[in-house]
Structure 1
Amino acid sequence: MLFRRFVLIGVGVQGMSVNEMMVGGRVNLF
């Protein structure tokens, strides 16, 4: 599931906005 982690991080970096909070929270959880 490492690939999924990198994808979430990439999406978070690209969409530094509301998505950043959701994706960022998920990255922190995992």
Structure 2
Amino acid sequence: MPPSLRKVVAAAIGGGAIAIASVLITGPSG
């Protein structure tokens, strides 16, 4: 796997995790 592709995959996974976490954190509290 090329390093550039690995970086894109890591960014996508990290961004998705942050988005999901922010939704879970802000959801219950409104």
TM-score for the superposition, normalised by structure 2: 0.51
Gaps of 5+ in 1: 18-30
Percent identical pairs in the alignment equals 18
Gaps of 5+ in 2: 23-30
Structure showing greater relative contact order (alpha-carbon pairs closer than 8 Å, 6 or more residues apart): 1
Q: Over aligned residues, Cα RMSD in angstroms?
A: 1.0
TM-score for the superposition, normalised by structure 1: 0.51
Question: Which of the two has greater helix per residue?
Answer: 2
Shift >6 Å, 4+ stretches: none
Task: Give the greater-gyration-radius structure (CA).
Answer: 2
Number of residues of Structure 1 aligned to a counterpart in Structure 2: 17
